[in-house]
Amino acid sequence: MNCTALIVTYNRLTQLQECLKATLLLSFNHIVVVNNASTDNTARWLSTQQDPRLHILTTTKNSGGAGGFRHGSQFIADTLDTEWVFFYDDDAYPAIDLLDQFNALDKLDYQIFSSKVLLPSGAICKMNVPYKKVPYTIYETLLYGIKPDNFLPNFSWPEEVETFSFVGAVLHHNILRQYTDLIDDHLFLYFDDVLFSYHLSQLGYKILFSPNLIFTHDTSININIYRNKKIYYMVRNLVFLQKSQYPPFSKFSIFLRIIRILILCICRGRNIHSILYTLKGIKDGFLYKKPK
């Protein structure tokens, strides 16, 4: 089975080194690394790597995870002879048996798979959990806050889901050939994978969550995003989602989510800059028009 790894990196050389070390142990036919215009020593280090399976793509600017995955997907679709493409960030590490587990899966009805993503502690990485059922309406959004398990897969057995995270997504090459342009690179950070995968679901493609496909995501899950600029992208992209062909959340649901973020910025961020980032995100989300 011909498999390709697609890794996006930006200024995280230490994590990238661990990621590539774990990846090179597996029998991938190709390993594509998108260096998103890193300003540290990433480019220099990558230039020293000699494995013939490596394809190093260096962008002229940092286009975020969304732009990096789109750029890499387009390269793979246009250039490589492969069957399956595994998506992940530079701080995510595939399990040593990942490809063996994937080869054992019954793929007859599926062209898209979602992996189980763990923190280094072994706990589930919540930011990478797919939606079994997207909480679309305001009622479902409120219910999701109370009973999230109603909308999330069970982590012990395979289940169909409506979305995937770009950490641990596995897509058939045919999907990339047809739909790479649905990866909205203007989103930069947050909801790019939700929007892409939900769009594919609405087009009729089934996504299977498989708990036997495992990645470890070495992310600082407890970093207070309500105190930094990342909150801008979260809010801006939430607002922009309503303009998509298949918005994963209703307008009222988006409004409720933004109100919650504002409250958390006040309670947790306690920083005037985070509130200003949130307000700017709302404004830019409404005003932004995607280039044709």
- Kindly tell me if the per-residue pLDDT of 230 is higher than 90: no
- Kindly tell me if the per-residue pLDDT of 143 is higher than 80: yes
Whole-number pLDDT of residue 113: 98
Are the beta carbons of 228 and 269 closer than 8 angstroms?
no
Q: How confident is the model at residue 291 (pLDDT cuts 50, 70, 90)?
A: low
Identity of the amino acid at 57: L
- The closest of 190, 191, 200, 188 to 68, measured between CA atoms, is 188
Whether 76 maps to a domain, the answer reads: yes
Across 16-42, b (16+ Cβ under 10 Å) vs e yields bebbbebbeebebebbbbbbbbbeeeb
**pTM of the predicted model, to two decimals?**
0.94
Residues 34 and 69 both lie in one domain: yes
Residues 180 and 72 both lie in one domain: yes
Whole-number pLDDT of residue 101: 98
Query: Per-residue pLDDT averaged across 144-164, rounded?
Result: 96
The Cα–Cα gap between 59 and 44 comes to 14
Residues 187 and 238 both lie in one domain: no
- Kindly tell me if the per-residue pLDDT of 85 is higher than 70: yes
Per-residue DSSP letters for 203-233?
TT--EEEEEEEEEEE---TT--GGGSTHHHH
Query: Per-residue pLDDT averaged across 256-275, rounded?
Result: 85
Q: How confident is the model at residue 172 (pLDDT cuts 50, 70, 90)?
A: very high
Residues 157 and 273 both lie in one domain: no
pLDDT tens-place string over residues 174-209: 999 999 999 999 999 999 999 999 999 999 999 999
Q: How confident is the model at residue 225 (pLDDT cuts 50, 70, 90)?
A: confident
Residues 138 and 271 both lie in one domain: no
Residues 167 and 254 both lie in one domain: no
Whether 201 maps to a domain, the answer reads: yes
Are the beta carbons of 14 and 92 closer than 8 angstroms?
no
- The domain that contains 146 carries what CATH number? 3.90.550.10
Q: How confident is the model at residue 31 (pLDDT cuts 50, 70, 90)?
A: very high
Whole-number pLDDT of residue 221: 59
The residues, ordered by sequence, that sit 6+ positions from 270 with a Cβ below 8 Å of its Cβ are 227
Split into its structural domains, the chain has a count of 2
Residues 213 and 245 both lie in one domain: no
Query: Per-residue pLDDT averaged across 75-82, rounded?
Result: 97
Domain span at 156? 3-217
CA 66, 252, 161, 78 dihedral sign is: negative
Residues 81 and 159 both lie in one domain: yes
